Chain A
Amino acid sequence: MTKKLPSERRIEAVVIGASAGGVDALMKLFDDLPAGWRLPVVVVIHLPEEHESRLAEVFAARLPFAVEEARDKAPVEAGTLYFAPPGYHLSIERQRSFSLSCEPPVLFSRPAIDVLMSSAADTYGPALAGILLTGANGDGAQGLLDVHRAGGLTIVQDPAEAMVATMPQAAIDAHAPDFVLSLRAIRALMLRLDSHHAD
């Protein structure tokens, strides 16, 4: 797909959802992102609830900018990659701070991608980019639709490339995303969004 990025678009935050195959996909997506990275990036990835997540540690060791587990009431900071803690839903509040919640799982998932994306869409509106990657259930389709309805940019990993196509395909079935791309192309797009942000 060759849809052009509107030049006036200024993205303030990126939210990403992934499930089965998601850790590998994220490794490729974030590989070698530059030290001057500016955008906040918030990730929900489905993991077994009882395991304490080491995702932040794993990615912190590989990336030249801040990587943290999102903390309740903490402000969303620029240039930081956040992971949702396992066992809690993660939302972004209007004040651009995080909140956690123990509401029941959505589509068997807690954290749920839908919860993060819908709350972020309310907060950032057109200044949000939502990215949905590989996964084996339908979580994220509604959230990405909410991003779209709020005027945000929606990006879906090409199901043909995804390790498990179910999740990206569900999003494509729910609305026509702005971009359906390979991981490599999503990575390039993220770099462009970040350079716009830094201008």
Chain B
Amino acid sequence: MTAESTPRPLHPPSDSDIELRLLMEAIYLKYSYDFRDYTGASQKRRVLHALAQFKLPSISALQERVLHEPAMFAQLLQYLTIPVSEMFRDPAYFLALRRQVVPVLHTYASLKIWVAGCSTGEEVFSLAILLHEEGLLERTRIYATDINPASLEKARQGIFPLEAIRSYTANYQRAGGQRAFSDYYTAAYEAARFDPGLCADVIFADHSLATDSVFAETQLVSCRNVLIYFNRQLQDRALGLFHESLCHRGFLGLGAKESIDFSGYAGRFDVLARSERLFRKAG
């Protein structure tokens, strides 16, 4: 047998591997947050980062605190999730939405869109602006879900740092934006507050792709740079939820480097725009 044919661990799990697994098990049993099927390398980095910030000597020490102090878990949750996002990230994605998905969305009298793993809301506001310009926002309900309550609260406020607006504006223009980006926000101090009207029919809700089920039939699911943190098993669970939620021939958008090729759902979505990562539920 060659070395390549059967991937196997070259050495037994390290202490930190064991501690990480025990920590995730403890979090699941105590708080019902399921990080057990997240990818190991980035999870380890984030926990080690948290350890350094909390000035704790080991993951086991962190586990003890997390188990007995719910406030400690709330803090750790901010490290375990990745609240990194930007408006109109990957402009080509939004341009493809405008050109290839919006015309079909116009054929529905009312729309439901699910932004899964919405983090601090940058993508929700981007989509709302796009839908507004395409005359669809008034007939659309957006479900914006995430597991992190602190992120959801930030998303609800729609306030983003002013220093980021310059790059968001460039993204917006490259995404086919039709107006002055500044029409959508008011600048005050160091922040840009986006028009709350954009979110009049957005429901921000706590939802876990690891443990919760489908809550609505939708025409479009946008879930970008979330699946990369999941192992294949959990990716399949999430894709299963999207497939179930989507209406006949509904649309799915993923992150620029995400793929369904290695999932059990590879044959159950058609590719609509390969490099923009837009898919359509197979008929």
Residues of A within 8 A of B (CB): 12, 71-75, 77-78, 85, 87-89, 91-96, 99-104, 115, 118-119, 122-127, 197
Contact = CB atoms under 8 A, between A and B. Distances in A.
Contact of A115 (B9, B17, B45): B45
Given A88-B257, A92-B41, A101-B82, 17 more contacts: A71-B257, A72-B228, A72-B259, A73-B231, A75-B7, A78-B4, A89-B42, A94-B17, A99-B42, A101-B41, A103-B42, A104-B84, A122-B14, A122-B41, A125-B10, A126-B10, A126-B11
B40 A12 contact: no
B190 to A, nearest CB: 19
Contacts of A94: 9, 17, 40
Interface string B33-74: 000000111101110000000000000000000000000000
Interface of B: 3-4, 7, 9-11, 14, 17, 39-42, 44-46, 82, 84, 225, 227-229, 231-232, 235, 256-259, 261-262
Contacts of A96: 7
Contacts of B46: 103
A78 B4 CA distance: 7
A125 B17 CA distance: 14
Contact of A102 (B4, B45, B82): B82
Contact of B10 (A85, A89, A124): A124
Contacts of B14: 122
A103 to B, nearest CB: 6
A77 B44 CA distance: 24
Nearest to B255: A102
Contacts of B228: 72, 88, 99-102
Contacts of A78: 4
A124 B10 CA distance: 6
Contacts of B229: 101
Contacts of A91: 39, 41-42
A103 B84 contact: yes
A22 B262 CA distance: 31
Contact of B235 (A73, A89, A197): A73
Task: Report which residue of A12, A89, A101 has the largest number of chain B beta carbons within 10 angstroms of its beta carbon.
Answer: A101
Contact of A95 (B7, B45, B258): B7
A119 B231 CA distance: 15
A125 B41 CA distance: 14
A85 B229 CA distance: 16
A124 B9 CA distance: 8
B42 A72 contact: no
Nearest to B38: A99
A129 B134 CA distance: 53
25 contacts: A71-B257, A72-B227, A72-B258, A73-B231, A75-B7, A89-B42, A91-B39, A92-B41, A94-B9, A94-B17, A95-B7, A96-B7, A99-B41, A101-B39, A101-B42, A101-B228, A101-B229, A102-B228, A103-B42, A103-B84, A104-B84, A115-B41, A122-B17, A122-B44, A125-B10
